[in-house]
Structure formats: structure tokens, C-alpha cells
């Protein structure tokens, strides 16, 4: 049995079977595009990569990806998703302005994440605000979360981090406080931080010892920041 709120320096394929309670997988995996990770080989054959992703079949899963590169893997490995979300962001790259979020065996509840009213001066909206409504339900696409800037990677220099707010958004849409979130590709600990901020528990797996150490430093820093906030 694995301890929650911990990141394990190991291959997830030896760890998922050791989790004895229900969990939801939320992950941003390597896309098999020969990216320069520390320990992981990001240029598997198509068959190898499909087998890797197939480990998540029939599990409750939210998985982020570039559609052009990975759809050919995800449908054979996981089937057609139950729902798809779109994360849109600013980018200097010509063909890199969005990623998909595939949901399997779980559906996002867009009422759990509210967005500001677009027309707050409308009579009906003013009435809703007066009655305590904090915003409108969100959609299956959003553009209010941007990529992690290079200057943000200075202290925790993982090559391909996603924003904490992105993982928070996904976690809020598909889970409740106290739920267990598992990230098989934990990287620098972004999903762990998102779980801490949203009141979820987590288990992470990461092959790289360096990235694990990076994640532990981020988690300790987050705890210190939380203590400072509580004192104010």
C-alpha cells in the first residue's frame, strides 16, 4: 500500500497496482516527440507508446495532449474520450496555441468552476449577483490560463512544466475535496501543488531523481508560503 501525499521515484507501472483505494488520474504525459527529459526516453515506437498509455484504460482519467501528435496513440490505447476540453493560450510557436484535455470514465462538472459574468450591468445579471451568484458556469474551453514563462522556470527548471492553475482547474472540475489524485508523470510536482491548493490528496510517480527532488523543494516552499499567509 502506498502512502498518500507523496511522490515516488519509480515507474508508475510498478505503482498503480499498489494503490488500494479509488483514485482519479490527472496527468500531462510526455508526447513521444523526442523531447529532452532527464530519465524518460521520449521517442518510443508507436507500439511501445500505445502500450504505455494503455495502462490507463478503463480508469478515471484526465489527460492533456497535443492532438496532432498524440491522437493516433490515445484512441487505440484508450478509446474515444467521454468528453474533451480545450485549453487555449498565447504562444510564439506557429502551431502551438492550444492543447486538448481528454476525459475518460469521468465527466467534468462545469458548475464547479465559475467565470466572471461578461455583462455585469445587465439587469438579470445584477439580480443574480444580488442573490449571491458569484459567476457563470465555465465551458469546455478556456483561455484565461497562460503557459509558464521561461523566467518562472529559473528555480525549478523542469523542461516542460504546465501551469499550476491548469491542473487546479482540471482537478476542480472532476473531483471533490479529499479525493485522491494520481499523476503517473509528476515531473516537478505541479499536480501535487494543485492538489494541496484544492484540498485533494495526491500520489505521484516520477522516473527522474532530479525532478523528484525539484518537486519536493516546490512542495516545501509551498508549505512555507501557506504558513506565512496564515500568520498574516
| 51 belongs to a structural domain | yes
The pairs formed by 106-110 with CB atoms below 8 angstroms and a separation of 24 or more are 106/24, 106/60, 106/61, 106/62, 106/82, 106/174, 107/82, 107/83, 107/174, 108/62, 108/83, 108/140, 108/170, 108/173, 108/174, 109/173, 109/174, 110/137, 110/138, 110/139, 110/140, 110/173
For the residues of 145-163, what is the DSSP string, one character each?
-PPPPGGGGSSS--SS---
pTM for this prediction: 0.90
Which percentage of the chain shows pLDDT scores above 90?
A: 71
| 59 belongs to a structural domain | yes
Facing residues of 177 across strands?
none
**pLDDT beyond 60 at 165:** yes
| 1 belongs to a structural domain | no
Phi, psi of 210 (to 5 degrees): -65, -45
Bigger pLDDT: 223 or 4?
4
| 48 belongs to a structural domain | yes
pLDDT-based confidence at 32, cuts 50/70/90? very high
Question: The domain spanning residue 33 has which CATH number?
Answer: 3.40.50.150
| 222 belongs to a structural domain | yes
Query: In the structure, how many helices (H) and strands (E) does the chain have?
Result: 6, 10
Measure the CA–CA gap between 222 and 155, rounded to whole angstroms: 13
| 80 belongs to a structural domain | yes
Measure the CA–CA gap between 2 and 18, rounded to whole angstroms: 6
Check residue 151 and give its pLDDT: 45
What domain range includes position 34? Answer: 6-231
Check residue 126 and give its pLDDT: 83
Cell readout for 158 is 523542469
The count of structural domains within the chain is 1
Helix (H, G, I), strand (E, B) or coil at 27: strand
| 157 belongs to a structural domain | yes
Amino acid at each position: 500500500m502506498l502512502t498518500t501525499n507523496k511522490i515516488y521515484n519509480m515507474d508508475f507501472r510498478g505503482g498503480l497496482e499498489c494503490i488500494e483505494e479509488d483514485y482519479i488520474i490527472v496527468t500531462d504525459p510526455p508526447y513521444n516527440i523526442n523531447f529532452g527529459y532527464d530519465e524518460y526516453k521520449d521517442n518510443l515506437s508507436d507500439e511501445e507508446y500505445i502500450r504505455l498509455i494503455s495502462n490507463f484504460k478503463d480508469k478515471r482519467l484526465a489527460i492533456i495532449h497535443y492532438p496532432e501528435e498524440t491522437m493516433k496513440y490515445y484512441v487505440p490505447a484508450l478509446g474515444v474520450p467521454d468528453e474533451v476540453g480545450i485549453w487555449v493560450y498565447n504562444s510564439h510557436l506557429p502551431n502551438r496555441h492550444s492543447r486538448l484535455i481528454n476525459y475518460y470514465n469521468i465527466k467534468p462538472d462545469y458548475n464547479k468552476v465559475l467565470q466572471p459574468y461578461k455583462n455585469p450591468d445587465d439587469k438579470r445579471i445584477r439580480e443574480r449577483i444580488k442573490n449571491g451568484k458569484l459567476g457563470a458556469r465555465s465551458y469546455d474551453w478556456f483561455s484565461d490560463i497562460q503557459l509558464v514563462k521561461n523566467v518562472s522556470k529559473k528555480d525549478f527548471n523542469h523542461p516542460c512544466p504546465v501551469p499550476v492553475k491548469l491542473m487546479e482547474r482540471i482537478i476542480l472540475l472532476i473531483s471533490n475535496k479529499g479525493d485522491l489524485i494520481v499523476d503517473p508523470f509528476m515531473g516537478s510536482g505541479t499536480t501535487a501543488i494543485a492538489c494541496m491548493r484544492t484540498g485533494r490528496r495526491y500520489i505521484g510517480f516520477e522516473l527522474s531523481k532530479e525532478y523528484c527532488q525539484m518537486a519536493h523543494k516546490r512542495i516545501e516552499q509551498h508549505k512555507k508560503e501557506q504558513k506565512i499567509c496564515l500568520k498574516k
